[in-house]
Copies of this chain bind each other. A is one copy, B any other.
Amino acid sequence: MTLHNNLSTALTDLRRRTPLVQCMTNEVTTNFVANAILAVGGSPAMAADPGEADDFVALASALLINVGTLSTDKRVTIPLTAHAAEKAGTPWVLDPVAVGALQPRTRLAKFILDFHPSVIRGNASEIIALSGGVSAGKGVDSGDDPSSALPAAFALNERCGAVIAISGATDLITDGKQVVRTPGGSLLSTKITGAGCALGGVTAAFAGVCASPLVAAVAASVAFNIAAERAEKLAAGPGTYQPHFLDELYALTPEDVSAPERSEIENAGKPEAEA
């Protein structure tokens, strides 16, 4: 009940406050990430360059760090900016794209856990790899089921305090105490590049207005699932799905995201096995 009310408030606040969301994201999906943040109500600023990124983060309401491509520049600016975000008190979201499959990303992503992300959003393979386990991931595709990554999610949360959002057919989101399930979405999201990246960006937008990172992560996931289902009905394939998806993200109402069937608190504590 409280959760559902908080979700509706979160979207209302996002539209009213248009938080400035700084994005350090990959060159493949940056345009889609920016458009998704705009569609949901935020103001994206792709400030990721040397001498800019770490200064800018104090102005931003939230920060997204996506390690999907790691130029020489970004290997320097990402840790500086994560550190600056922590010092400035700017909430930040880590998207560990293809961590596990690629060592430079894995090392960098693990290192910046020390700067205390508010939310870590990845697929099951990425969450398992980031927590130090061996995953079945192949590039950006997960070879693992979200529930199989729950132990890794608890371990990661223990280590850095972040809310962990595991994306999959049904997303699982935990703050180490509660696990929230957000069912739904569309398989077409797996047929376009950047759906996960855009979810990371939208999560950062919500984190810019929500006191609770758990609410931010759940709100983003629910918003995505609803927009995805509606876009799928309008689309003839993955090409037309993408513009419809942005339209539907833009059209979402606070009532939409607070519908009780969209987010369920699965259990009220870490399972015994994980304690």
Question: Is A267's CB within 8 Å of the partner chain B?
Answer: no
Chain B nearest CB from A65 CB (Å) reads: 15
Residue of B nearest to A39 (CB): B238
1/0 contact string of A101-113 vs chain B (CB within 8 Å): 1111100000000
Question: Which chain B residues border A191 with CB–CB below 8 Å?
Answer: 38-39, 250
Segment 41-80 of A: residues with Cβ below 8 Å from B? 43-52, 55-56, 59, 68-73
Confirm or deny: A132 has a beta carbon within 8 angstroms of a beta carbon on chain B.
no
Bound Cα distance from A238 to B36, whole angstroms: 10
Are B238 and A38 interface neighbours, CB within 8 A? Answer: yes
**Does A30 interact with chain B (Cβ within 8 Å)?**
yes
A26 lies within 8 A of chain B by Cβ:
yes
Contact assessment for A34 and B71 in the assembled complex, using a CB-CB cutoff below 8 Å: no
State in angstroms the CA–CA spacing of A117 and B46 once bound together.
25
Docked Cα-Cα span, A46 to B105, in Å, equals: 13
Chain A, range 234-250, C-beta contacts under 8 Å to B:
235-240, 242-250
Q: How far is the CB of A247 from chain B (nearest CB, A)?
A: 3
Interface residues of A in 204-263 (CB under 8 A from B): 235-240, 242-251
CB of A71 within 8 A of CB of B44, answer no
A100 to chain B: closest CB distance in Å? 12
Please, could you name 26 A-B residue pairs with CB atoms under 8 Å apart, sorted by A?
Answer: A20-B138, A20-B139, A27-B30, A28-B31, A35-B242, A38-B191, A43-B139, A43-B140, A47-B139, A48-B69, A49-B69, A49-B70, A49-B71, A52-B104, A59-B138, A59-B139, A71-B71, A72-B73, A236-B247, A238-B250, A239-B242, A239-B246, A239-B247, A239-B250, A240-B243, A243-B243
Q: What residues of chain A have their CB less than 8 Å away from a CB belonging to chain B?
A: 20, 26-32, 34-35, 38-39, 43-52, 55-56, 59, 68-73, 98, 101-105, 138-141, 191-194, 235-240, 242-251
